[in-house]
Structure 1
Amino acid sequence: MIKMAYIPIGVPTFDLEAAQIQFDDSVKVLREISEDVLVPEKPLLTLNDLKAYLGSISPDFIVLQNLTFANSAYAQMVVQHINCPVILWTLKEPVVDGTRLRLNSLTGAYSAANLFHQMGRTDFQYVIGSPKEEEVKKTLNAAYKAAEMKYKLKSLQVASIGHTPQGFGFGAALDSDLARVFGSTLHFVEARELMDKARKMKDEDATHEKNESERKMKNIQLLPEENVLSHHKLYKAYKDYIEANGIKAIASRCWPDYFVDYGTPVCGVLGLLNDNKIAAACEADIYGAVTMFIGMELSEQPVFFGDPVSLNVEENSITYWHCGTAACSLAREDLGPETGVHPNRKIGPTMEFGCKPCEEATIFRVGRKPDGSFRFFIANGEALDKPKQFYGTSVVVKTKQNAKQIVENSVQEGWEPHFAVIYKDVKQELEMLAKLLKIEICNY
């Protein structure tokens, strides 16, 4: 959890009684968002008061509020003292009655925003409205979540387990790119190293993994015993590597190695990791793993990861599918997280189910452009109540915008073929995160 600081600035020549009411209401709202919020004893109505307060805090996120009008010197002092994400909050004028201007918060916001731009701080967020407005609360919370997400990305350890197959280079990444744009650290390990560790294990070494698999993966015991035991050991090898290195997201090699060299797919392993909120992308898609991590953290639950494979124009829906790496907790309740074999290689275990419905879903992708810059694909929709569409795992999303146009435009614009379906509407948080990271926003 990041530390938030409330900075209510103003001058004493406006209506201080009205300002105090706004101050008290604002504190209540911010404490609903986070218990760890720094609040001054009283409104900061002089530069000296502001300077003293700034010297006493070290926040990760700032709510800079024009409690009344304040000239740009106040904003300049904030920028010079603290470098972290900021949301600028303008209060609505409480009374319009032909008499005194009580707060003049909006003019103060223009002064502050102009100063931010002049000093190169164009990454600030903005909200206008009273503390009691639901839209204001929603925007403040989204800004906090975006700032928290940026903070989490700075400490993110990502692992590439093996390299991308031929023709899947869209998932490859440079460690310098991840560090420069997201602040994240990229680890590399060969897939054969983890396969070798799994082969050398005794059956009893993976007892805990066996118990978890049997508890979560429906009908896994019906598959060949050799494959099931190999799955348990591979899961143990992956978990050991992840825990030893503090990994929160992995991009794993899958075909052909695990079928040909190891004899058992990694699909079920990735599904269990996803279920435990370790973002696990297949086909060694590193930016896909980062995509999943962001979606998991913002929604606080596993996300679906897969290819767009089918368009239904009449239903205005897109089907997302993959061979069988979805988290067990995403399975429909009627059949549960069934287990089967890979649709092409006929070896298991893989996950085999249609995903549960969700009224508000977000389709998301961290994309890398040919010039090395990044962009966010963001689309909203509803995960429909649909059975499994093909062998493997699938989810059908009815999009808010025209599904056919989304497909046509995203193909024309060269997006990668892997997307995350997030089980929550996090569009606003993603847009704010993109602004903080200076990444292009592409809404579909």
Structure 2
Amino acid sequence: MTPDDLEAARAYIDHDYDLIINVCASFSDATPALALYSGLAQPVLLWSFREPGPVGDRLWLNSLCGSNLYAHALVRAGGSVRLVYGDPDEAAVADALSLALSGDLPSAKTLPPMVRERAEAQPVREALNSLRGKTLGLVSEAPPGFTPSEFDGDLLQSLFGLTVHKLSMDEMFSRIDDVSAEACNSEEVAVRTARPSLAALDPDEVSRHAAVTVALRDWTAAKALSALAIRCWPEFPAQRGVCPCSSLSRIADEATPTACERDVYGSVTMLLLEALGSGTTYLVDTVDLDVSNNSVRLWHCGAAATSLAADPAEATQFVHCNRKIGVAGNFPLRTGPVIMARLTENITDKGVDGLRLLIAVGESIPAPNRFQGNTAEVRLEVDASAFVNSLVVGGFPHHTVLAWNDVRPQLRAAADLLGIPITEW
């Protein structure tokens, strides 16, 4: 929880041990993982719990996502991990822990990648060429310990011809302060008309939300930005009393992809998917696993475009699930066939070597909004437990991009043209 706690934990690791089990009781950034476990010769066993709480409540733990983030950081740094998923009273969990204590760690085996059809190269080449010269708008730095939000600007330029335009948090806040009362009022009237549920929220928070939207929209237009990756916390809620989720949603509804937590490779994945014909996309965490339904629950805290709602007319705007201030979306996501995709660092025995591409496929099935924010329950084509294990043990990011049009053949062809290896499930 604190730097002092890390130092206390380090004292245990300095002694002889047979096994390290890191209980990801909740979500945290990966700073503790890197501080405690970098350079270990043996794997770290990450233990995550199932999500409790009633349907429609906040995400209580986000424990699985915590393991996912820890794993990405450790694998990226040259380490390895194993995963145990389940609650302490489950027999399978007790068996897995008993075996681990006797020296038999859970399997590191991942799902074998699939080889499938490619689209014709020429249209895909044209889509890739359409990205060249485009600019990503970034606000501030990656949140501490969010290793998936770090990026290599030279690599983006060489692979995709993309550049970045970056604002500091102070510069972003100055732009918000410069929004005129007239422009703010005009946006507030428009957004209240488009999103009537705002009437139930604090008027001051809705007004601050309108100012953030205008500032983001004006910046996007002034700099001809093609996508945004925004550091959305802690400064926005802590210093400005507003969550930018619904503002990012508003910009996404206007056809500019938006990624929270300043996830640059996430926003590039969104740009690539949309260039290939995916339509509007959304950046999500994998937060829960339902073995009985072979499904995973994909979620984020409320920045989805309202066009992606299961019922756009009921795309409720609410307070942020954790911060309890406005404004964030609170509605289930669209049903139907979906794909998940993600560009991330290609981790090899010699370190990071360019990018790799993750692809998965499933169906978003009708379900209530399991967690406050935006949730999709996706029944996978492959074994869901094996998928989650592969995601964590393979060191993939906790963020993937969800799309409702199947552009997998185009994605495969694009990866081939760019020399990017594919892991597809």
The two structures have a TM-score, normalised by structure 1, of 0.66
SS of aligned partner of 1:353 = coil
Matches within 5 A, 1:5-404: 139-140=119-120, 143-333=121-311, 336-358=314-336, 360-370=337-347, 371-404=352-385
CA distance, structure 2, for counterparts of residue 382 and residue 149 of structure 1: 26
Match of 2:390 among 387, 405, 409: 409
1:391-422 C-alpha deviation (Å, 9 max, x unpaired): 11111111111111111112111001001111
C-alpha distance in 2, partners of 1:346/1:403?
Answer: 32
Please say if residues 128 and 272 of structure 2, whose CA atoms lie closer than 8 Å, have aligned partners that are also in contact: no
The equivalent of 1:435 in structure 2 is 416
> Which protein has the larger Cα radius of gyration, Structure 1 or Structure 2?
1
- Cα distance in 2, alignment partners of residues 145 and 361 from structure 1: 22
Determine the C-alpha separation between the residues in 1 that align with 2:274 and 2:341: 11
- Aligned-pair identity (%): 28
Distance 2:140 2:211 in 1: 18
- TM (norm. structure 2) is 0.69
**Which has the bigger relative contact order, CA under 8 A and spacing at least 6?**
2
Quote the offset at 1:342 in angstroms. 0.8
The answer for unaligned runs of 5 or more in structure 2 is: 1-115
Deviation, 1:334, is 7.9
Task: Name the residue aligned to 1:74.
Answer: none
Q: Structure 1 residues 308 and 220 mapped into 2: Cα distance closer, same or farther (>3 Å)?
A: same
> 1:216–1:328: 8 Å Cα contact kept in structure 2?
no
Uncovered stretches (5+) of structure 1, i.e. residues with no partner? 1-126, 128-134
CA contact (8 A) 2:278 2:405 kept: no
Pick closer, same or farther for the CA change 1:232–1:309 going to 2, 3 Å: same
| Displacement over 4 Å in runs of 4+ | none
Change (3 A) 1:420 1:334: closer
Q: CA deviation at 1:350?
A: 0.4
Count of residues in Structure 1 that have an aligned counterpart in Structure 2: 306
CA deviation string 1:230-254 (max 9, x = no partner): 1111111111111111111111001
Q: 1:420 aligns with which of 401, 421, 424?
A: 401
Which piece of structure 1 moves more, 374-383 or 153-162?
A: 153-162
Using the TM superposition, give the Cα deviation of residue 288 of structure 1 relative to its aligned residue in structure 2, in angstroms: 0.6
SS in 2 for 1:368: strand
Q: Is the 8 A contact 2:279 2:405 kept in 1?
A: no
Check conservation: 2:248, 2:303, Cα contact below 8 A. Answer: yes
1:269-328 deviations in Å (ceiling 9; x for gaps): 111111122110000100011111222333352112110001111211111101110001
Q: In the alignment, is the contact (CA less than 8 A) between 1:331 and 1:354 conserved in 2?
A: yes
CA distance in 1, matches of 2:343, 2:354: 11
